Amino acid sequence: MLMPVPMPSRLMIFLAYLISLLLSIFLLCVLKIMHPQIASVFDEAENRYLKPDEIKLIGQYVASMPERLDTYRNLRDREPEIMQAVVDQLEAEFPQESEENLERCLKNALLMLRYCGLSLLVNDETIVQHRFLDWVKPLSQAYETKAVDSKLYRLLNQQLSKALSPKQMGYLSPSLSLAQDGLLSQTAKR
């Protein structure tokens, strides 16, 4: 049996309009909070309209959002599986290393993955520098875990390449390289 589809009432049209308005305001607010480059663009709103390349920047970020969200979800859901594969190989590679040291390196790698995930979502690599590198780098220098870290990152990157599509890796790579290169380089903290 077929039911007639009711015509949308005025109230429903109004509600739909209201919801779309609220959504666009919400999106603008989220954009302003999340994306540092875009935030600076909005800061000058009272002086001028946005230039074409600035509008393009917003367009590119918004267009990349579904992919970024997919990458983030994928990373979140597969974190245990990716990391367990890395753990198993790492233990085989470093049978002499103490479990405590390996666990410390692995926890740092988990932390790195989570900050890189956040960084790809909001397209802000300074998160990796300020919240991850500034904290973990002095610790890894104090514990002298460079050899384990270096192998760990190679294994992690292999697992990530298997779990994520090339395009998804493209979103994750900049922050991941920043974190890994920053940690493995010898230079002082700040």
CB of 143 to other proteins, least distance (A): 7
CB of 167 to other proteins, least distance (A): 26
**In which residue are the tokens 């969200």 written?**
69
Name which position in 138, 162, 181, 185 contacts other proteins (CB under 8 A). Answer: 138
Q: Which stretch binds other proteins (CB under 8 A): 1-9, 50-58, 109-117, 165-173?
A: 109-117
**In which residue are the tokens 């397209």 written?**
123
Q: Which stretch binds other proteins (CB under 8 A): 4-12, 102-110, 156-164, 169-177?
A: 102-110
CA dist 107 and 92 (Å) reads 18
Determine if 83 is a binding residue for other proteins (CB under 8 A).
yes
Name which position in 32, 114, 146, 151 contacts other proteins (CB under 8 A). Answer: 114
Cα distances (angstroms) measured from residue 152 to each of 63, 107, 109, 146: 33, 11, 8, 10
Name which position in 58, 65, 143, 159 contacts other proteins (CB under 8 A). Answer: 143
Cα separation of the two ends of the chain: 72
- The SS3 assignment for 189 reads coil
| Nearest Cα to Cα of residue 161 among 92, 74, 91 | 74
Determine if 32 is a binding residue for other proteins (CB under 8 A).
no
Backbone φ and ψ for 81, nearest 5 degrees, come out as -70, -45
Helix (H) / strand (E) element for 34: namely: helix 10-34
CB 131 within 8 A of CB 117: no
Name which position in 34, 50, 65, 110 contacts other proteins (CB under 8 A). Answer: 110
Determine if 51 is a binding residue for other proteins (CB under 8 A).
no
Total of chain residues touching other proteins, rule CB under 8 A: 25
**In which residue are the tokens 């002086």 written?**
47
Determine if 20 is a binding residue for other proteins (CB under 8 A).
no
Determine if 121 is a binding residue for other proteins (CB under 8 A).
no
Q: What residues line the site for other proteins (CB under 8 A)?
A: 79-80, 83-84, 87, 91, 99, 102-103, 106-107, 110-111, 114-115, 130-132, 134-136, 138-139, 142-143
